[in-house]
Structure 1
């Protein structure tokens, strides 16, 4: 059977038993069973606690995975960039929230055009500045219905978001005055809390944020403002936040994959990490000349290099340690008794899944030892 060239050099292996182990590498692997299980688990958590689920696309950037999340019960998706939102709306994904302010004339034009394409109440964007509100309203005047917006709150991180309750009230007034924008609620995403490794410290920090958010929401509601949506919550704080009654919806992203960082963070639960590793990078041993290590074909162009190192998942027995060895190469230090041979395939758990995914054009979807499909990463590189 012929395959589309967009599927890459491994397309001929789709459906071939054992094809997982003969891929051209570096290759981004996605375990379909683990992915499906993770999506179902988070959907069940949201349903059990009566909280909405709007998972973040920034982790996977994939239309196919977004569709799976919607089919499992998600009310929409969250997008960190306008480009991600465009990819989702173009594919018919409903309930898209752009979680970062959209600024500059051309991007505002794109945003309004996207809102028109998505339809009423299917695209929402956060705002944190009256100047941005005024510009957005001018562009939104072409829409048949007002554009939905959410006030972004700094959540203690101060990356974006209004700085306090007074600023939120001022912004809400500016939104109301436009006549072209409809205030729907508040966003408070504590990104800086998600990777606090000590469970008690992470939960305490999340509780402090919830207290701050609850106060903000009470203040806005007391002013007669319609706050129907309180959105935030990531993979690292989902357990405590889902049941607390402050947020109306969650935005976790990395739970679909898990990575080295999140395994460290979530391993402190009663039964270990609640989600399975579904994402791997497969590499090949390309040199065995050094006595203390082997050289792999996966370096800084294959793994995110902003955090910890990748960890071996398959292909090596015994202790091992990965180190970056250049753009195209990695060093795997192993003992002589477990030294992989030239041409051997070694799979790794990704150090940080989001930026690792952004290095690849496609997922190689596997079921056991078989490559069952190849999915494009449609939102990769879209600003």
Structure 2
């Protein structure tokens, strides 16, 4: 696995960031802080609560910084992530995936006893009944939201079936129905803004129709949560959401950098990089680095070189442990040369590392552990 060595001795050392044991996961601190501020201010202007997704970073220090900047709490994709965040003192958590296995229900009820503000989504009456029984046994009610399928089909209940599920949750003695979740993950990376806007607003209309139907029955939906980095500047226009669940905005990656914003580029900066080093250079126009398949998520394009290589150079995966750098004619890279690359997909790349190396103006200023790495259950 990448990132099993951390570089505490280099903290505060001038140019220490260039001496990291590689491959290393690096945060550009000023860019990261600007991203947090930009999203917090955007949500405040739009009248939205920000509930960022911790699946992006899996790091308690980052969650605390997001909350300090105004976020109401965090989202977690998995129960294990939520347990780690609760251990670190995060007290307001929304689990955005259903929890269904019997042992997981026991853990969920234990977590519900530990923190004052836990919410979990449901997308079937079978699951809702299991949660009702578990909450009754635990002796404490559980907050639930109905998860809507607005086109992704990964989780969520069909909108036409959602009112019946909400009625059940609202009438259950040991559940507290709090509202709706809708996430259009299939819309986030539509590159053209106009098409993304049209489809996202249509999805928000579906969510609104379910809310309106429930409110006609006297069932209120105080929490309407969803959206993401790809639709952060579209969702407020629909006037449906109360919470925005953006995650990748803190780091950005090649996939999100390719997405067109309302006025061209989105207002977030790349703040996450993988730093690697040249370990072999015997073949003309080719260098080998120490960062391969195990250092990057591989569900998207290869990493994009940002610094350290000549213009026109490109990265390709060269094996589990190595990456290749194709060089323009007449160019070479010396052994030990340090290169940085933009991650293709930030969330699964983060899950490969133990820690972030936080850099400001070339100085390593901190090392933040990725406590929820690997907590996928």
Output the CA distance in 1 between the equivalents of 2:58 and 2:330. Answer: 40
1:156 aligns with 2:181: no
Q: TM-score, normalised by structure 1?
A: 0.95
Output the CA distance in 2 between the equivalents of 1:211 and 1:21. Answer: 50
Counterpart of 1:221?
Answer: 215
1:93 aligns with 2:86: no
Counterpart of 1:21?
Answer: 18
Output the CA distance in 2 between the equivalents of 1:66 and 1:207. Answer: 29
- SS at structure 2 position matched to 1:282: strand
Counterpart of 1:3?
Answer: none
Deviation of 1:273 after TM superposition, in Å, equals 2.8
Q: TM-score, normalised by structure 2?
A: 0.96
Counterpart of 1:378?
Answer: 371
1:316 aligns with 2:309: yes
Output the CA distance in 1 between the equivalents of 2:251 and 2:122. Answer: 29
Any unmatched runs of 5+ in structure 2? Answer: none
- Equivalent in 69, 73, 77 of residue 76 of structure 1: 73
Any unmatched runs of 5+ in structure 1? Answer: 1-5
1:130 aligns with 2:125: yes
Q: Deviations over 1:158-189 (max 9, x none)?
A: 11111122x11221222134300010000001
Output the CA distance in 1 between the equivalents of 2:250 and 2:170. Answer: 38
Output the CA distance in 2 between the equivalents of 1:149 and 1:138. Answer: 14
Q: Deviations over 1:289-347 (max 9, x none)?
A: 11131111100000000011101111113112111111001111111444221110100
Counterpart of 1:351?
Answer: 344
- Equivalent in 270, 277, 297 of residue 304 of structure 1: 297
Question: Matches of residues 1-383 of structure 1 in structure 2 within 5 Å?
Answer: 8-119=5-116, 122-165=117-160, 167-266=161-260, 268-270=261-263, 272-382=265-375, 383=377
Deviation of 1:271 after TM superposition, in Å, equals 5.3
Tell me the matched-pair count: 374
* Greater shift in the superposed pair: 244-253 or 175-184: 175-184
Output the CA distance in 2 between the equivalents of 1:242 and 1:339. Answer: 49
- SS at structure 1 position matched to 2:90: coil
- SS at structure 1 position matched to 2:368: strand
Deviation of 1:224 after TM superposition, in Å, equals 1.3
Q: Deviations over 1:319-377 (max 9, x none)?
A: 12111111001111111444221110100000000000000010011111111111100
Asked whether the 8 Å contact 2:274–2:343 carries over to 1, the reply is yes
- SS at structure 2 position matched to 1:236: helix
